[in-house]
Amino acid sequence: MTSITEQSQGGFRLDMLWTDARYRSSFLQIVAFLLLMLAVGWLVSNAIANLAALGKDFNFSFLGTTASYDINQKLISYSSTSLHWEAAVVGMLNTLLVAFMGCIACTVIGVIAGVLRLSKNWVVSKLMLVYIEAVRNVPLLVQILLWYSIFIESLPAPKQFRENVPEGERATLWFDMIAATNRGFYVPRPVFEAGSMVMLIVFVVSVLALFLFNGIRAKYQERSGNEIPNALHLFGQAFAIVFGLGVIWLLLPSFDQGAFGIIWKLVVGVAIGAGLGFALYSMSTLSVRVAILVLPLVIAYYVMGQPVSWLYPELKGFNFTSGEDASIHARNSLMALWLALSIYTGAFVAEIVRGGIQAIPKGQSEAAGALGLRPGRIMSLVILPQALRVIIPPQISQYLNLTKNSSLAIAVGYMDVTGTLGGITLNQTGREMECLLLLMAFYLTISLSISAVINWFNERIKLKER
Amino acid sequence: MTDTTPERAPVAFVASGEIPQAPPPPGETGLRHWVRENLFSDWVNGTLTLISVAFLLWTLPGLIEWVLLHSVWNAKSLDECRQIMDESFGEGVRGACWAIINERFEQFIYGRYPEELRWRPNLAFALLFVALLPVLFGGFPGRKLLFVVTAAYPVVAYFLLWGGSIWPFFTFVAGVLLGILALRAIMSIDHPIIGTVGVAIAGAIVVVALYLNFVWGPLTDGLTGQYGAIGFAPVESAQFGGFLLTVIIGVVAIAGSLPIGIMLALGRQSSLLFIKFVSVVFIEAIRGVPLITLLFVASTLLNYFLPPGTSFDIILRVLIMVTLFASAYIAEAIRGGLAALPKGQYEAGDAMGLTYGQSMRLIILPQALKISIPSIVNIFIGVFKDSVLVSIIGLFDPLGIIQPILANAEWQGIYAEVYFFVAVLFFICCFAMSRYSMYLERKLKTDHR
């Protein structure tokens, strides 16, 4: 206590500003603030002087001028007479498109690879190890460029799909619906006719019904101890069988291909259909949920007289037709970017999944086994719910990484927002500062909203302890 | 339950000695058991095995043929390559044409760095390992001595790589020493009201600023005039390229981002609201945007923020932006380490009466850094890989070297070989680093949880 009184008795000395805890924190913050303001002021004054010297100013009116460049991959209508802000929006949508597709694909790849990495099967787990290590340790840009050149150099030209090309050299559509060419991929375009609105409404209603079902089911289980009533259980199993057969029937639409084509389709179709059917059969609750979602939709589809049809790739001259009334043309730049992003991020997702599953103590699965649960149920009821808690936050940040990495599109000429706003618009208008500010603001908005989601999730799943 | 065991007659069914160990049953050991257990334990497993073996049989032979058996290592053009393939492996058989790598290998490594000066980057690279040795590995004699090399390395490497006269640097160091001397000198004056330290720091800053403004330039010129420009032949940044550039970016970014990252991480944890706010904004803003936009800033925007008339070279600008980029990520890694420390460690530091600086330096940071080393190494690997992005803004890193090759008339049509080569180059480096990070993780694992 003596030292404190001594201190307060002495007069104020300047060095007490940082030796005395009473003043130190305010003093430091004021100094930091002043220094920062000085630095910012210096930078801004430099920028103003430089801009003035170049005869430029800082405003965003260039966004309202004609862009006068074309974008070959777009989701909304756009032409070279459109404005710069429209080009930016097309770019943003393109970024979101490839990010969305990439997130789905990388999750599928990553989860499969991560689970297989943990497999007791030596060959499979080593194969996955090779995949993960090879992909993780090579720059993504190299992979994107490699896939892009492989697509361009080794896929067949559209004219090789023509009827008059000799049998051995003729290229064929994948699954009779996708044309993979060196000019890009042609994918069937859905055509919505009158009545598809009804299908949409039916779908929305069945989603609501699903929520309702989930609530009722949970109450039922609390009351009775059973997951679902026996009758519903039987219905689920029956639906699983029908569903599996339906998938097989869908996957085997035509047999007009060579012998290899038929066998290939038979094997793939039966494998997928039977796999799905078996999986649903063993999980009848899930099967009921799928039935709630799918069944009304299928019924509505036939009741309304099949309002959705597909425009398949069609050859016209030496090329596939493109445009609003033809199949969707996805350029190789998009496909290569998508593939590379998914494979690259998939490797990271695989490690996250593996880590998440391994983070669950062995005792958990042993305890579940001791209670008499079978492996499938141990996974779905004990391991996964706990592992997902570990997996999902880093998984979401991988989605964020994928979105940011999609900016590498500029290397293959896919016009995402970096390519339009940060590329051609920037070079045409010479508005570096404005363009880059907008570009960064776009990415920042995405990543801040994703981190908000992560934080919300972390808060929600936090173990409620004492 | 008595202490003395009575003598008993030997009983036939009680073993009197140890039974010799029998070999395990025939089905439980050896290759067959391993195969059954690991490859065909049930039908799912068996199917997976068959599928993956089929996949390997489908891809591996072709890959090996392409990479090794049917490849050509010496040729002057792609046409010649194909001709050789046609002649030696049969008409139409295609393998990799490694001749392109053979021809351009030096470019891939050094870019357009002058040929007769390439010993300088080589020496700098070798010295890098000497400098890193005491940092990366412990427990060998002379480690302390090697730290001197580490401390001097940035300067030495700069002179080796860029060359130029030593005088500007020499006089700059003289200025810094002058500042330190001024600090010491003013420190000895104790003023009853103003205190000591603040005046000393302010005084030293004034002295150094005056020195840099008025003495540095003339002194440098004078020394150069008197003794001539002593030093290596200068190499312009535009001539840097290839893997050399990748290594420079990686090393500078990590070395520069560590201190900044530590400060940002501490700032983010700080109780000083303003400092915390600034750190959070900086970290989140940098982490929220892709590196490529920061590189665009480096290539188009950074010069706007400098005093009119100054313009410094693109590699330096890229280094600044990549360093800032890496420091935001490092800050997050270190924050993870800081957060992992039990609160008792902080409180113990306070209870011992240590100042903030002391408790950070002696208690908190050594532990926090240790925890975050694996993620720091991972960030380094990421930065190393991301450095290829500089090819997008027109620098000649390994990917940038490829572009002219693809456009070259003699090599028109070649692509897989060059990308494959660059991929392998990066794979070797990054894989080695990730293994090192695992080694570190094991070595530093001192807890017994």
Residues B419, A149: C-beta atoms closer than 8 Å = yes
Instruction: Check residue A2 and give its pLDDT.
Output: 42
Asked if A112 reaches chain B (Cβ–Cβ under 8 Å), the answer is no
CA–CA distances in Å: residue A125 to residues A138, A173, A375: 20, 33, 19
Instruction: Check residue B135 and give its pLDDT.
Output: 78
Residues A404, B307: C-beta atoms closer than 8 Å = no
* Average pLDDT value for residue range A333-362: 93
List chain B residues with CB under 8 Å of A137: 381, 385, 426-427, 430-431, 434
Q: Which pLDDT band, with edges at 50, 70 and 90, does B260 fall under?
A: very high
* CA torsion through residues A31, A34, A37, A41, sign: negative
| Nearest CB partner across the interface for B293, out of A153, A433, A439 | A439
Asked if A138 reaches chain B (Cβ–Cβ under 8 Å), the answer is yes
More confident residue, B138 or B351: B351
| Distance, CA of B338 to chain centre | 22
A181 forms bridges with which residues in the sheet? A184
Residues B392, A28: C-beta atoms closer than 8 Å = no
Residues B194, A13: C-beta atoms closer than 8 Å = yes
Residue A330 has phi, psi (to 5 degrees) of -100, 120
Residues A440, B293: C-beta atoms closer than 8 Å = yes
Asked if B272 reaches chain A (Cβ–Cβ under 8 Å), the answer is yes
Residues A444, B273: C-beta atoms closer than 8 Å = no
Residues A14, B53: C-beta atoms closer than 8 Å = no
**28-67 in A: which are within 8 Å (CB) of B?**
28-29, 32-33, 36, 43, 46-47, 49-51, 53
Whether the Cβ atoms of residue A98 and residue A332 lie closer than 8 Å to each other = no
List chain A residues with CB under 8 Å of B289: 404, 439-440, 443-444, 447
pLDDT for B105 beyond 60:
yes
* Average pLDDT value for residue range A340-362: 93
Rounded to whole angstroms, the Cα distance separating B371 from B444 reads: 8
b or e along B293-314 (b: 16 or more beta carbons within 10 Å of the residue's beta carbon)? bbbbbbbbbbbbebebeeeeeb
Closest Cα of chain A to B426: distance in Å? 6
* Average pLDDT value for residue range A295-311: 85
Which one-letter amino acid corresponds to residue B158?
Answer: Y
Highest mean predicted confidence (pLDDT) among A439-448, B62-71, B206-215: A439-448
| Nearest CB partner across the interface for B288, out of A123, A137, A448 | A448
Of all residues in chain B, the one with the smallest CA distance to A441 is: B289
Residues A443, B385: C-beta atoms closer than 8 Å = no
Rounded to whole angstroms, the Cα distance separating B321 from B315 reads: 10
* Average pLDDT value for residue range A2-26: 64
Q: Which pLDDT band, with edges at 50, 70 and 90, does B141 fall under?
A: confident
Q: Which residue of A141, A144, A153 is the best one to mutate when testing the B interface, meaning the one whose CB has the most B CBs within 10 A?
A: A141
Averaged pLDDT score across all residues of chain B? 84
Q: Is B150 exposed, middle or buried (0-12, 13-18, 19+ CB in 10 A)?
A: middle
Instruction: Check residue A6 and give its pLDDT.
Output: 46
pLDDT single digits (tens) A251-281: 776 555 555 566 777 777 788 888 888 888 8
* Average pLDDT value for residue range A220-225: 88
Residues A149, B427: C-beta atoms closer than 8 Å = no
Of all residues in chain B, the percent with pLDDT exceeding 90 is 20
More confident residue, A144 or A269: A144
* Average pLDDT value for residue range A166-171: 77
Q: Which pLDDT band, with edges at 50, 70 and 90, does A463 fall under?
A: low
Instruction: Check residue B87 and give its pLDDT.
Output: 86
pLDDT for B126 beyond 60:
yes
Residue A15 has phi, psi (to 5 degrees) of -75, -5
**292-311 in B: which are within 8 Å (CB) of A?**
292-293, 296-297, 300-301, 303-308
Other CB atoms within 10 A of residue B66 CB: 17
Rounded to whole angstroms, the Cα distance separating B82 from B100 reads: 12
Asked if B420 reaches chain A (Cβ–Cβ under 8 Å), the answer is yes
Residues B399, A142: C-beta atoms closer than 8 Å = yes
Q: What is the pTM of this model?
A: 0.85
Which one-letter amino acid corresponds to residue B218?
Answer: P
Q: Which two tokens stand for residue A99?
A: 């990010």
List chain A residues with CB under 8 Å of B385: 137-140
Of all residues in chain B, the percent with pLDDT exceeding 70 is 93
Residues A14, B195: C-beta atoms closer than 8 Å = yes
Instruction: Check residue B5 and give its pLDDT.
Output: 59
pLDDT for A204 beyond 90:
yes
Rounded to whole angstroms, the Cα distance separating B329 from B262 reads: 11
* Average pLDDT value for residue range A147-162: 87
Averaged pLDDT score across all residues of chain A? 86
* Average pLDDT value for residue range A324-330: 82
pLDDT for A444 beyond 90:
yes
Residues A46, B308: C-beta atoms closer than 8 Å = yes
Asked if A194 reaches chain B (Cβ–Cβ under 8 Å), the answer is no
CB pairs under 8 A between A and B: 187
When mean pLDDT is compared across A26-35, A334-343, B173-182, the lowest value belongs to: B173-182
**156-185 in A: which are within 8 Å (CB) of B?**
none
Residues B426, A137: C-beta atoms closer than 8 Å = yes
Rounded to whole angstroms, the Cα distance separating B392 from B394 reads: 5
* Average pLDDT value for residue range A367-389: 87
In sequence order, the 6+-apart residues with CB closer than 8 A to the CB of B66 are B94, B95, B96
Helix residue ranges, H only, B113-272: 119-136, 143-162, 167-187, 197-210, 217-227, 242-269
CA–CA distances in Å: residue A160 to residues A171, A397, B95, B194, B413: 6, 43, 24, 87, 20
b or e along B345-372 (b: 16 or more beta carbons within 10 Å of the residue's beta carbon)? ebeebeeeebeeeebbeebbbeebbebb
Residues A29, B274: C-beta atoms closer than 8 Å = yes
* Average pLDDT value for residue range B247-258: 90
Whether the Cβ atoms of residue B121 and residue B163 lie closer than 8 Å to each other = no
